[in-house]
Amino acid sequence: MNTNLEVLEAEVLRLAPVDRSHLLERLIASLDSDPEVEAAWEREADRREAGLESGLVAAVPGQAAIARLRARLPR
């Protein structure tokens, strides 16, 4: 491992857990950035939001959605 990376790693490991978690999320996001994929997710989010706002789609509480999915999975 190169010295700069070792120094950076040591500094990061001294951060509070919440700060390390935030940094980890940012680093992972930086690896996964594909403009086409991001644009597609943005369009999908807009489509879903419009469905909710128009009343064409009803919101489902998270626990109910998870229960429905679990019921559909084979045991």
Query: What is the H or E stretch that residue 29 is in?
Result: helix 17-31
Q: In the chain, what are the domain boundaries? A: 1-33, 35-72
pTM, two decimal places: 0.50
Amino acid 1: pLDDT: 66
Amino acid 59: pLDDT: 95
- Check if the beta carbon of residue 57 is closer than 8 Å to that of residue 48: yes
| Euclidean distance between CA atoms 50 and 48, whole angstroms | 5
pLDDT digits (tens, 9 = 90+) for 20-62: 999 999 998 888 778 898 899 999 999 999 999 999 999 999 9
